[in-house]
Structures are given as structure tokens and as C-alpha cells.
């Protein structure tokens, strides 16, 4: 049996998990492939810490387990790129800067297969990396970049090849889902729930990417590329985070039999792709409403086979590492015969502004507590040819009123025009900008 040699660049939380699994499952992994999978080299700046933390033999590290300077690490990386015996490189350095992009491209140009969990890199700079892999006829594995241990990428690439994906909706960020779960079930406000998430290790000290929808957006961009063949940028994707969700929003959701979730949504309709990442009020009849804690879940609606649901752990060292190892085994077994290539989609789809896609919406108004305010807002909404489903009871607090209006399906543009008319009719009545949240059935 021929060797299949692997090098890991970066041995932090995820890279260390990959090394640990590869060493502990060496025989099983080789048995699952047609080649003997072997962890040959690791490049890590803080090598001595990684040796102790993950119990990895020091001789596998370039430099014999000693800490490296950046210059030394770069020299060892160059040696790996030139080593014809190295078949695959795992990138777990992280980041989406020029250095990491050039490194990924260099791996492909060196004729080596590449596996990465770096969603930010692939979402923001992936076009050049996918192209480099295609030109050099090497595989690019990135299962771990979307939902960690859940086999979302393989499902799209392999299981759905005889079908057409019509829509994707999912909870792709565990941190935001944990925060919203605590707000829903424990009555916490946003800041209390965020603090608890940080204490329990679900949120970083700087949680910006999780709570502003950035992390989820990276993942959705990759799914849109794979499912629909459309490349979009972070700037093009409509995105809103959960940082402005308040207790009254949770209460309004309960009133309409729904729960608030940060949802990644993409749908193909009439040759166009509509997509957004934002908080949505998910009806309790939709299984996503019951996905709690740090769990991730994805729902696909396909043209021929209907609904498919994938759910599981979306993050974590060993969970993410297990997906990377699965990509390594796949490359060792199939890459020489079935190289990873992004297939061109037959249909030419156009990515368009999500504001033109129809959703039911819940619009929450905070106004002066004056007679006729509900009538004013409903009249302005009706003038935009929006049908109203329900109007909530007013919540009165001193001289302030909060109420919500649920619409039938309409566009966000119509809602924005209705709000603009309210402002024009009575410029001082709104105490804050109305909150507009889509409703997902």
C-alpha cells in the first residue's frame, strides 16, 4: 500500500484536533482508503505548547518540537511545498489575509491537495483558490468550513447531484443560537445571554463576527456558490445581526407562535437568487424553531426530492477536526480519479437584492403613547398595498407605546416605504427606528 503523506500548517485548537485523530486512528483511516495515510510534518510557532497540549510526538513537528520564529516557520512551509513526498496540506492557520490566501494558492500550485476549515478565507478570497485548485488538478476539501461536523458540503456535492436545490434555510452560527435560546427560555436580555455564552466558551472575548452575522454570512456564501454556482461578496449579501434583539421581540415572537433565530436564507426563484442573513421569527411548525443551544441545522428544499434536514454540532475542536480528517481520507481514496472540481451550473442565475423578495414581516413600532397611532401606521402600511395579518396589543410604559404589526407576504421595499410615510405623516411620533423582522414558515 502506497503512502499518502499529510502536513498540517498550524497546530492550534483545530489543527491539534486533526493531528490527535490522525495519530489515534491511523490504522482505521488507512483501512478506509486505498493508501496508507501518514501524518508527516506539522508547522506550528508554539510547538512546545502543542506537543504537551495534544500529546503529539515532538519529532513530527518541524524543528523537533521547539518553538519557531515566523522566519523559521516560513522556511519549513517552503520545504513542505517543495517536498514531492507530501501529498496533502491541511491549513489551520486561520485568517483571510494576503499571506494565508497566497499560501493556499501556493499549495495548489505545488500540486498538493488542500484541506481547510477557513470559511472566512474561502468566502472572501475563495475564487482565486478554487481556480488554482482547478488549474492544478488538485482537490480542495472544505467540509469543516460550514457547520463543523455536519456533512453539508458532501451532501450537496454528492447526494444532491441528481436533484436541484431550490432553497436553503438554516442556523449556521451556534453562538448566536445559544444567546437567543437563553433569551427565549431563561428570560435573559441580550447582554446577560452574551456574558453567559462567553463564560461557557460559546462566544469569544470579541464576539463581533458571531453576533453581527459575519460568521454565518461566510458560510452562506460558500453554500450559495456550491448549490447555485453564484459567487457573491460579503458586501453584496444583506446581513443583520442579533445585537438589537430585545425582550419584547421575544414576547412578540411567542404571540405569533414563533421563536427568533439568526437564519441564513437563500432561494432560487425565476432565475434569480435571493439571500440574506438576519434574525427571523421562525414559526413553531418549522423544525428550526426547536433547534436550541449551540446546535447548527440546515434545511434544503429540493425540486424533486423535497425537504432534507441536517442537524448536529457545528463547532468544537474535535468536531471540526473530524470533518477535516474525513476530507483527508476522501482525497487519499478518490482524488487521483475524481478530482474536486466546481461544476458549472447550467442555469445562469442572477444574484439580486433581497429587498425585492417576498416574506411575511413583523414590524415593531416604538411610539409616543397618543390616540390614533395604531390607525396611522396601519393606514400607511395599507397604502403600500400590504395586507395586514394581525396587530398586537399595545404595551404601555409611561408615555411610550410598543406594538407590532404582522403583514402578509410583501417585499422589504414596500415595508420601508410604509415606514417612510409614517415618518412623513408625523415626524416626531416614532421614538426609535421601527424594527422589521421576516417571518419564516
* 219 catalytically annotated: yes
Q: Under a CB-based contact definition with an 8 Å cutoff, are residues 327 and 143 in contact?
A: yes
On whether the CB atoms of residues 282 and 206 are closer than 8 A, the answer is no
Find out whether 88 and 4 touch, Cβ atoms under 8 Å: yes
Task: Report the half-sphere exposure of 277 (CA within 13 A, side-chain side).
Answer: 28
Could you tell me which residues come within 8 angstroms of residue 270 by beta carbon, excluding any fewer than 6 positions away? none
Label residues 339-376 b or e (16+ Cβ within 10 Å = b): bbebeeeeeebebbebeebebbbbbbbbbeeeeebbeb
How many Cβ atoms from other residues are within 10 Å of residue 198's Cβ? 16
112, 219, 261, 268: the catalytic one is 219
- The candidate with the shortest Cα–Cα distance to 315, out of 149, 116, 92, is 149
Task: Give the Cα separation of 9 and 89 in Å (integer).
Answer: 7
In whole angstroms, give the CA distance from residue 91 to residue 110. Answer: 14
Buried b (16+ CB within 10 A) or exposed e, 233-248: eeeebbbbbbbebeeb
Catalytic site positions: 219
Amino acid at each position: 500500500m502506497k503512502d499518502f503523506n499529510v502536513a498540517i500548517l498550524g497546530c492550534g485548537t483545530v489543527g491539534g484536533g486533526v493531528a490527535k485523530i490522525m495519530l489515534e486512528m491511523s490504522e482505521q483511516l488507512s483501512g478506509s482508503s486505498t493508501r496508507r495515510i501518514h501524518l508527516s510534518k506539522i508547522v506550528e510557532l508554539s510547538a512546545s505548547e502543542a506537543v504537551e497540549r495534544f500529546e503529539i510526538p515532538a519529532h513530527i513537528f518541524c524543528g523537533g518540537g521547539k518553538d519557531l520564529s515566523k522566519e523559521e516557520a516560513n522556511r519549513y512551509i517552503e520545504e513542505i511545498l517543495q517536498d514531492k513526498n507530501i501529498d496533502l496540506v491541511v491549513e489551520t492557520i486561520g485568517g483571510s489575509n494576503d499571506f494565508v490566501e497566497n499560501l493556499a494558492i501556493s499549495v495548489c500550485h505545488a500540486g498538493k491537495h488542500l484541506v481547510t476549515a477557513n470559511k472566512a478565507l474561502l468566502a472572501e478570497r475563495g475564487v482565486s483558490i478554487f481556480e488554482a485548485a482547478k488549474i492544478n488538478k488538485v482537490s480542495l476539501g472544505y467540509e469543516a468550513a460550514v457547520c463543523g461536523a455536519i456533512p453539508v458540503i458532501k451532501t450537496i456535492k454528492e447526494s444532491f447531484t441528481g436533484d436541484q436545490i431550490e432553497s436553503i434555510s438554516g442556523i449556521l452560527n451556534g453562538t448566536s443560537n445559544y444567546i437567543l435560546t437563553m433569551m427565549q427560555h431563561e428570560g435573559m436580555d441580550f447582554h446577560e445571554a452574551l456574558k453567559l455564552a462567553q463564560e461557557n466558551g460559546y462566544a469569544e472575548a470579541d464576539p463581533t463576527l458571531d453576533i453581527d452575522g459575519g460568521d454565518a454570512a461566510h458560510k452562506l456564501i460558500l453554500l450559495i456558490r456550491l448549490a447555485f454556482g453564484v459567487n457573491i461578496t460579503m458586501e453584496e449579501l444583506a446581513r443583520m445581526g442579533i445585537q438589537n434583539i430585545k425582550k419584547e421581540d421575544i414576547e412578540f415572537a411567542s404571540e405569533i407562535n414563533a421563536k427568533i433565530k439568526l437564519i441564513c436564507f437563500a432561494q432560487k426563484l425565476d432565475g434569480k437568487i435571493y439571500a440574506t442573513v438576519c434574525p427571523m421569527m421562525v414559526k413553531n411548525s418549522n423544525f428550526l424553531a426547536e433547534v436550541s443551544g449551540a446546535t447548527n441545522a440546515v434545511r434544503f428544499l429540493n425540486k424533486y426530492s423535497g425537504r432534507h434536514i441536517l442537524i448536529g454540532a457545528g463547532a468544537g475542536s474535535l468536531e471540526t477536526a473530524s470533518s477535516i480528517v474525513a476530507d483527508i481520507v476522501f482525497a487519499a481514496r478518490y482524488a487521483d480519479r475524481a478530482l474536486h472540481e466546481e461544476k458549472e451550473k447550467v442555469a445562469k442565475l442572477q444574484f439580486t437584492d433581497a429587498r425585492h423578495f417576498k416574506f411575511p414581516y413583523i414590524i415593531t413600532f416604538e411610539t409616543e403613547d397618543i390616540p390614533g397611532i395604531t390607525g396611522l401606521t396601519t393606514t400607511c402600511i395599507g397604502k403600500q398595498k400590504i395586507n395586514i395579518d394581525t396587530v398586537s396589543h399595545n404595551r404601555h410604559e409611561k408615555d411610550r407605546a410598543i406594538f407590532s404589526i404582522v403583514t402578509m407576504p410583501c417585499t422589504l421595499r414596500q415595508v420601508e416605504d410604509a415606514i417612510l410615510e409614517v415618518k412623513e405623516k408625523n415626524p416626531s411620533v416614532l421614538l426609535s427606528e421601527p424594527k422589521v423582522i421576516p417571518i419564516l414558515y
